[in-house]
Amino acid sequence: MTMTSLKKTSQLQVTVAITKRGLMRMRRLPSLMIPSIIMPIFFVVAFSGSFSSVVELDGYSTDKAVNWMAAWAILQGSAFSGLGGGGLTATDLENGFFDRMRAAPITPSALISGLVGYSVTRAVLPTTAVLIVSFVALDADMPGGLFGFVIAYFTAIGIAAVMSLFVLGIVFTMKTLKSLAIAQVVMFSTMFLSVGQAPLEAIQGWLYHVAKYNPITHVIRMGRQGFLGDVTWAETQPGFISLTLLLIGSGLWARACYQKVDI
């Protein structure tokens, strides 16, 4: 059909252009970005401070709370960054700019990829900010070395992409800025019901079972491993598989919901 007549190279340029537009807006309207940097910084400070003693319990396998909480704050921050593409789309849908893009010969995938690209690039900022605060002010360790940093960034980007696709689906369906509030509730609930703040060994009751089967649990473990010890394939594999499945699932969800814009 006609979609195939759209050149692949030009669609890649479309993706890049949409990503760039998001980043440019962010630069010009810093209030879009500041909360998503401040919030994770506060999280790492507050969680490491309030819960400094919990690492004495079994399962934390570190003697400093910051080593546990830094990854949690990074992933919270990148989940929050995932709202970026959805927020931009909701604004565009409300003021009609989205029609301009839809009236152009671009594929939905190029458009969605561009928006995800924006969210993902955003996630680098809070991740870096949390890492700086953790190491400079809170004396964090990274026994996993360079690989530890790489895997932390990789996971942060992965979570931002998954959340971005999930939020886009909701925004495509509801078409309002208000829908972001709903997306946030679901997003943060999913994050909280995991090993974000405490290891599985420390969790009791219903949450133990929820956290155990929550794919985010594996993803957080993957991103956190460098703070606790060496980076290993055994600790990476479940997270990597979960992240891949989450990406496929949220990608299909976003693509399916896009049809609802096209009424």
Distance of CA 17 to the CA centre of its chain: 21
Q: What SS3 class is residue 7?
A: coil
Closest by CA to 82, choosing from 2, 208, 166, 151, is 166
For residue 74, which of 17, 33, 124 has the smallest C-alpha distance? 124
Whole-number Å distance between alpha carbons of 129 and 131: 5
Q: Which residue has the tokens 């900010």?
A: 129
* Residue nearer to another protein on the CB measure, 103 or 234: 103
Stretch that binds another protein, among 33-41, 150-158, 236-244, 250-258 (CB under 8 A): 33-41
Per-residue contact string for residues 189-208; x = within reach of another protein by CB under 8 A: x--xx---xx---xxxxxxx
The token duo for 189 is 């609930």
Q: Report in angstroms how near the CB of residue 235 gets to another protein at its nearest.
A: 21
CA 139/CA 93 separation, integer angstroms? 44
Give the interface size with another protein as a residue count (CB under 8 A): 62
CB of 58 to another protein, least distance (A): 8
How far apart are CB 155 and another protein at their closest, in Å?
Answer: 21
Among 103, 136, 233, 234, binds another protein (CB under 8 A): 103
CA dist 113 and 174 (Å) reads 20
Q: Which of residues 155-184 bind another protein (CB under 8 A)?
A: 178, 181
Q: How far is the CB of 201 from another protein (least distance, A)?
A: 9
Please pick, from the candidates 30, 33, 36, 57, the single residue that binds another protein as defined by CB under 8 A: 57
Give the torsion through C-alpha atoms of 20, 26, 32, 34, to 10 deg: 120
* Cβ(77)–Cβ(40) below 8 Å: yes
Query: Under the rule (CB under 8 A), what is the footprint of another protein?
Result: 1-3, 5-7, 10, 13-14, 17, 21, 24-25, 28-29, 35, 38-39, 42, 45-46, 48-54, 56-58, 92, 95-107, 178, 181, 185, 189, 192-193, 197-198, 202-208, 262-263
